[in-house]
Amino acid sequence: MTKLKELMSVSGLPGLYRMVGNRQNGLIAEDLDTGKRKFLPVRKHQFSPLETIAVFTHMDSIPLMDVLRRIDEKSTEIPPINPNSSDEELRAYFLQIIPDHDDSRVFPRDIKKIIKWHSFLSERNLLDLSDEEE
């Protein structure tokens, strides 16, 4: 099972990656879908470890792991929505998952990414919803 701290999103590239090595001028990352490894230069890409991503709420923020856990817990009563749904449908769905999310700082593209990541990780049995500290 993959821990969220091992995964990252890479700007300009679809999917999720696992860092397998680093160099002074970039990272060597493994594509979780294909298993292929490639060098990604820091001059061309930005790297966002999933464990550092959070969703803004009106009071604070919620770590991505907690958001993914809520999507999973509510999936029987609220089936995950198609990420290509309209902005209004994405917002309505996300309001059911995180009712107090800050809609002025959480954009439909962010909701779409979170839904895609949840689906991607769940379909490949890579989503470890246990506490990260265990």
What is the pLDDT at residue 2?
61
Fold adopted by 53-123: Arc Repressor Mutant, subunit A (1.10.10)
Q: What's the mean pLDDT in 2-24?
A: 89
pLDDT of residue 134: 41
The CATH number for 4-49, chosen from 3.30.420, 1.10.287, 2.60.40, 2.30.30, is 2.30.30
Chain segment 27-48, per-residue pLDDT in tens = 999 999 899 999 999 999 999 9
Cα-only R_g, the chain: 15
User: Scanning the structure block, which residue is given the tokens 């246990």?
Assistant: 130
* Segment 46-71 mean pLDDT: 95
Return the domain boundaries, the chain. 4-49, 53-123
pLDDT of 133 strictly over 60: no
CA distance 108 to 103: 9
Q: Across the chain, where does the E strand assignment appear?
A: 7-10, 17-23, 26-31, 37-41, 47-49, 54-56, 61-63
